[in-house]
Amino acid sequence: MTAMSDLRSRVDASDMLGRVLAFPDQMARAWEIGAAFVKGEKLPRGPFARVVVCGMGGSAIGGDLARSFLAERATAPLSNHRDYALPVNLTRGALVVVSSYSGNTGETLSAYDAARAAGAAVVAVTSGGELAARCKRDGVPACIIPGGMPPRSAIGFSLFPMLQILRACGAAEFEDSEYEETLAVVRDRCNAYAPAREDNAAIEMARRAHGRTAFVYAAPGLLEGVARRWACQFNENAKVLAHHALFPELNHNEIVGWEASADLMSRAAIFSLEDRDDHPMTRRQVAVGLSIMGPLAAHVERLESPGGGRLARMLSMMLLGDFASVYLAYLNGVDPTPVAKIDRLKKELA
């Protein structure tokens, strides 16, 4: 039995690693659910002035990844909204996609009501709960996805129906072949990062992050949503602080913050997520910025996304962070599934 397999049996009571390993199967099922939904429902059709994805936490990441993947292929600006109030100027002529895995997220239910009151076109993605009930009451199309797992583990169910909804509504364009290529790629990545592969990149990354605070950097574009996902996965799975920021903006402010924080920086690990589609000048900003911050950090790692199409590259990089966060939880001796402080917060807000 490998060291990681031994740690898995001791700390991963709810088998978070199993959920990550099952991502390709979830992705395939999510694609089928999305395809059946858009075929069977009468959805609003564009053109739209904008697309707004409303969600929180793990339910919102699908919107981040959709925006990163689609980029200029979206036919209208796509933004993400993480709050209760939904300003009227965001709803004018908008398609609002409301994403709540549980269906009971207070902020998202508030945004749903605001979108409906403003007359926006609304579509929901949820496993049920109050959101599904309100959609049924109001005649709003709702794509029902399987429930019963932590929202961050349902990223495939959040992302792929949303992509199909955006395409069916005329808000985005992409090819089925991109999904097919990506499915093959993520199966390969999950095999490469499985615990039996002790030499795999995800285990080694977890070891380099162990005992350190992760600073996850990326450029605006394909890996922007992935950088947020990495930080959130480190937070929730490994129970450690992690931070994400974007070049070139961080070179205009955050770079200075490294000057007077020697104790923190001596335990900091920078992970720079980079892609071939990043703007050439941004790539230059990355190189220069890291040359200035790097000597102050305990570890600096530049990670270039692998070959393939945009969707395949984005999800390959996402999976590296997902696996590394679980392996880091093992090294920290913590169960990656429970999120006690979030549960306490929700209980006190209820």
Kindly list the catalytic residues.
236, 252, 346
Cis peptide before 295 (omega within 30 of 0): no
Secondary structure (DSSP) of 28-65: HHHHHHHHHHHHHS-------SEEEEE--THHHHHHHH
Q: How far apart are CA 72 and CA 77, in angstroms?
A: 9
Grouping H, G, I as helix, E, B as strand and the rest as coil, residue 128 is coil
226: tokens are 């992935």
- Contact assessment for residue 300 and residue 290, using Cβ atoms and an 8 Å cutoff: yes
Surface-to-core class of residue 192, CB atoms within 10 Å of its CB (0-12 exposed, 13-18 middle, 19+ buried): middle
How many Å apart are CA 209 and CA 329, to the nearest integer? 11
Number of C-beta neighbours around residue 6 at 10 A: 12
> Containing H/E element for 78?
strand 78-81
Measure the CA–CA gap between 290 and 89, rounded to whole angstroms. 38
